[in-house]
Chains A and B, each alone.
Chain A
């Protein structure tokens, strides 16, 4: 089968200090189909280098469920990078 490089669009949400770094609460990105959340984060970290400093203290979600960084993404997924939570 010929390799077809297909891209998909995903929605990305920023909260807390990440929202301040990115200067926005929501963005979208065009990524290779099947790319992981980790790869998506790397793309944003290269655009906003300050983000990379927080990688070790973040968790990710995909479609509003906590997700491993290795989770592959599909078209129209909603991904969020979540700082340590401090509700209550």
Chain B
């Protein structure tokens, strides 16, 4: 067995996300920067006051996709460690739904990698949120992940 390439921490949780613990995990003596993204539940959506949100995920696939994102940013940017946690279940206004921390020896890499990670997560990881309002609930508008091209129609056998 070879040791894991990077000491990253990537997980889902149904409890409040402990941002300080994630920052502590990525921060080491050789780092000059830790950049974080704290995604939190907004109190309005499309001009309507939001009551709360429910998050769900295709957990096994989503976790694999989040690990792929971490692997990608290690290749693209000279960073040290990544921590990425996403909350599931019911979230109240102001709570953290996703938290990403990236450490690096020099700040540009951590900024770029953290931005790339949250943008890619929002576009490609199978997670969904339902927004609840005074007068009903809707599944949030989302993005369709890129998928492999369709196979060309097969010619009939001759």
Interface residues in chain A, defined as those with a beta carbon under 8 Å from any beta carbon in chain B: 13, 15-17, 57-61, 64-71, 80, 82-88
A83 touches B142 (CB 8 A): yes
Q: Which of A13, A15, A64, A88 has the most CB of B within 10 A?
A: A88
The number of chain B residues touching the other chain, given as a range, is 35 or more
| Bound Cα distance A33, B117 (Å) | 38
A sample of 5 cross-chain residue pairs with beta-carbon separation below 8 angstroms, ordered by A number, consists of: A65-B61, A84-B142, A86-B142, A88-B97, A88-B98
Contact among A58, A64, A67 for B148, CB-based, below 8 A: A67
CB distance from A73 to the nearest CB of B (A): 13
Contact among B60, B97, B126, B141 for A15, CB-based, below 8 A: B126
In the complex, what residues of B have CB within 8 A of residue A70's CB? Answer: 150-151
In the complex, what residues of B have CB within 8 A of residue A67's CB? Answer: 147-148
Q: Told that A59-B147, A88-B122 touch, could you supply 18 new A-B pairs with CB distance under 8 A?
A: A16-B139, A58-B144, A61-B126, A65-B61, A68-B148, A70-B151, A80-B126, A84-B141, A84-B143, A85-B122, A85-B127, A85-B142, A85-B145, A86-B122, A86-B129, A86-B139, A88-B118, A88-B121
B58 touches A87 (CB 8 A): no
Within 8 A of A (CB), among B110-154: 118, 121-130, 139-151
Contact among B61, B126, B147 for A68, CB-based, below 8 A: B147
Task: Report, nearest first, the 4 A-B pairs whose CB atoms are least far apart.
Answer: A87-B127, A84-B142, A86-B142, A64-B61
In the complex, what residues of A have CB within 8 A of residue B140's CB? Answer: 86
CB-based nearest A residue for B146: A66
Within 8 A of A (CB), among B19-51: 39
